[in-house]
Homo-oligomer: A and B are copies of this chain.
Amino acid sequence: MPEMDIPKLHEFLAQEFPQVADDVRVEELSDESITVRLRVAERHLRPGGTLGGPAMFLLADVAAYCLILSRIGWRPLAVTTNAGIDFLRKPAADSHLLCEATILKMGRALVVVEARLFSEGVRDLVARANLTYSLPPEGQTPEVL
């Protein structure tokens, strides 16, 4: 049973990420994975109607962050230390973007998450990312951003 369920995660997003809370929505949540939707809004698009890399990075980061919080509870101290992303295909122009994130390793100090992004209803991957988060010892402040 997760420490934070979907409504709790939405509450967290509204408070900690007010700029994006209206655009992202947690669709599914299990112990090992999460699915998060990015409602593609005008401001995420480049001229021509494609979604830019930074918006995809944002979605992967939010999904991974929510997945970790669902496991460890509301702890805004977890910080990204490293991320890598391959952009594979152009997302479908008028579709929402979905991100499926999975925990690869839940360590004492580091959590590694894998994220796969695709356009709703399209099977081919749009992007894949790996993200590492540092969990500071209880009661300590994080040493990295």
User: Is B81 touching A87 in the complex (CB atoms < 8 A)?
Assistant: yes
User: Is A50 touching B144 in the complex (CB atoms < 8 A)?
Assistant: no
User: Is B16 touching A43 in the complex (CB atoms < 8 A)?
Assistant: no
The chain B residue sitting closest to A144, CB to CB, is B87
* B residues near A109, Cβ cutoff 8 Å: 109, 134, 143
* Bound-state Cα–Cα, A30 to B143, Å: 25
* Bound-state Cα–Cα, A76 to B108, Å: 20
Kindly report how many copies of this chain are found in the complex they form together.
4
> A6 on the interface (CB 8 Å rule)?
no
> A29 on the interface (CB 8 Å rule)?
no
CB distance from A129 to the nearest CB of B (A): 9
* B residues near A40, Cβ cutoff 8 Å: none
User: Is A145 touching B86 in the complex (CB atoms < 8 A)?
Assistant: no
Known: A86-B104, A88-B112. 9 other contacts (CB 8 A): A46-B76, A57-B57, A57-B83, A81-B132, A82-B87, A86-B130, A86-B132, A87-B144, A88-B144
0 or 1 for each of A70-93: is its CB under 8 Å from B? (1 = yes): 000000100111111111111100
The chain B residue sitting closest to A44, CB to CB, is B19
Contact of A130 among B43, B48, B79, B128 (CB under 8 A): B128
* Bound-state Cα–Cα, A114 to B102, Å: 15
User: Is A54 touching B53 in the complex (CB atoms < 8 A)?
Assistant: no
Show 23 residue pairs from A and B whose CB-CB distance is below 8 angstroms, ordered by the A residue.
Answer: A17-B52, A47-B76, A51-B145, A52-B61, A53-B145, A57-B57, A57-B58, A82-B82, A82-B84, A82-B85, A83-B85, A84-B84, A84-B130, A88-B105, A88-B144, A89-B145, A90-B145, A91-B145, A108-B143, A109-B109, A126-B145, A128-B130, A132-B132
